[in-house]
Amino acid sequence: MDRIRIVGGNHLEGRIPISGAKNAALPLMIASLLTDDTLTLENVPHLADVEQLIRILGNHGVDYSVNGRRESQHEGYSRTINFTARNIVDTTAPYELVSKMRASFWVIGPLLARMGEAKVSLPGGCAIGTRPVDLFIDGLQALGADIDVDSGYILSKAKNRLRGNRYVFPKVSVGATHVLMMAATLARGETVLENAAREPEVVNLAECLIAMGAKIDGAGTSTITIEGVDALSGARHRVIPDRIETGTYAMAVAMAGGDVLLEGARADLLQGALDVLAQTGTEIIPVNSGIRVRRNGSGISPVDVTTEPFPGFPTDLQAQFMGLMTMAKGKSRITETIFENRFMHVQELARLGAHITLAGQTAIVEGVSKLKGAPVMATDLRASVSLVIAGLAAEGETVVNRVYHLDRGFERLEEKLSGCGATIERLSS
């Protein structure tokens, strides 16, 4: 199993290209199930989750082809991929596939809308009511779907097409917004989704669906209106730059010090997080080619944050920000309101010398003057990269184990950081 070795203490200087957003690419790929024409997606990142979803879509009969990369790109960087779901050969998404990636559950919306039926496994380790699968079920039932739960599978049918309706999300859910918006594009009549997610990835999906012939208004607000159409066509669409990767590398520069241009980044996609980062004493400078991040070696100021749906501070940057706060000059409070059990990185940061105490959904971080390298274990995608950020400033050697978590969401992380002067390398077993 691969590991990542980091020797801390180097400032970061140079450029880091920002990849296409994983959280935008996955629903866009699933949208290919809505049409028998080809959907061409540009700027698709080369990540383990993308490759897994390609396999899952192939199980349903989706063909794909990858266009050649530009000469200026390294092999493995973002690609253009053509997806063609001309013939849906199977409307079942089995447990052995869905259990490996939660987002694959989202195929239920397009399959039900286009084929009138879908049998999709509940995500691995997920009970109804946690990380709200119930919102998907309630929303699809509001659109006229007949749904049963049997032996760990959601059995859904819509014999005479889904029917447009008004649905109010009881809580904001990006995944459920994706699914109901996709399903409603082929429903009869008008659908109004209220308290919908406003994230940029939702807007990116809506723009793609509109290019395919859907009639959607209000994406990016809390009320989205969809007028169903009889069929969708193919389209060509570009995946937005990854705001979580952008924020992660910005925090890495803040932690290590230095001056880095995040090429292709868009400040409007994560302004809430950038405003918080500026309060730590880090310079954030939007430029035509991306975002310049600079910290000249002065101390890191502590800042309190609470995770919120967009446009607030993203839950997917909470762990990284905690890594940064471990060396702030004072005490910070980080409150997680989106997901439970998202403080698993605390114990591993403590192995590096961090002082963190937990009080319910709040982590209280008392900044220390130095961290010391140690072997640590990645527990999930975002937790793993928080350990990398801490390792960049820790004295001596930090070895991060279980880096397959990183490969799910960060394209060539060690290559991008080492190109800016970090001492970081992958160790293969």
Q: What is the pLDDT of residues 92-105, one digit of tens each?
A: 999 998 888 888 99
Residues 325-341 pLDDT 10s: 999 999 999 999 998 77
Last residue of a domain, one of 184, 212, 238: 238
22 is in an annotated binding site: yes
Same domain, 116 and 255: no
Active site members: 126
pLDDT at res. 78: 76
Domains in the chain, number: 2
Same domain, 198 and 65: yes
Query: pLDDT above 70 covers what percent of the chain?
Result: 96
Same domain, 173 and 274: no
CATH code for the domain in which residue 102 is found:
3.65.10.10
Do residues 238 and 78 lie in contact, with contact meaning Cβ atoms separated by under 8 Å? no
pLDDT at res. 374: 97
User: Residue with structure tokens 């399903």?
Assistant: 183
Give the domain range for residue 123: 22-238
Query: pLDDT above 90 covers what percent of the chain?
Result: 85
133 is in an annotated binding site: yes
191-224 as b/e, with b when 16 or more CB fall inside 10 Å? Answer: bbbebbbbbbbbbbbbbbbbebbbebebbbeeeb
Q: Is the pLDDT of residue 71 over 50?
A: no
pLDDT at res. 401: 93
370 pLDDT tier (thresholds 50, 70, 90): very high
Q: Is the pLDDT of residue 322 over 80?
A: yes
Residues 127-167 pLDDT 10s: 333 556 899 999 999 999 999 999 999 999 998 999 999 99
338 is in an annotated binding site: yes
Residues paired with 426 in a beta bridge? 4
Q: Is the pLDDT of residue 418 over 60?
A: yes
Same domain, 286 and 325: yes
Q: Is the pLDDT of residue 125 over 60?
A: no
pLDDT at res. 68: 56
pLDDT at res. 77: 66
Same domain, 14 and 84: no
Same domain, 267 and 175: no
pLDDT at res. 126: 37
pLDDT at res. 67: 84
Mean pLDDT of 290-297: 92
Same domain, 189 and 247: no
Same domain, 423 and 369: yes
pTM tops 0.85, yes or no: yes
Last residue of a domain, one of 193, 215, 238: 238
Residues 220-262 pLDDT 10s: 999 999 999 999 999 999 999 999 999 999 999 999 999 999 9
pLDDT at res. 362: 97
Same domain, 151 and 168: yes
User: Residue with structure tokens 């500026």?
Assistant: 278
292 is in an annotated binding site: no
174 is in an annotated binding site: yes
Last residue of a domain, one of 208, 238, 268: 238
Helical pair 243-256 and 271-279, crossing angle rounded to 10 deg: 10
Same domain, 148 and 230: yes
Same domain, 117 and 172: yes
Mean pLDDT of 57-86: 80
Mean pLDDT of 79-86: 97
Same domain, 85 and 228: yes
Mean pLDDT of 178-183: 98
Residues 190-216 pLDDT 10s: 999 999 999 999 999 999 999 999 999
Q: Is the pLDDT of residue 294 over 60?
A: yes
User: Residue with structure tokens 């980091």?
Assistant: 6
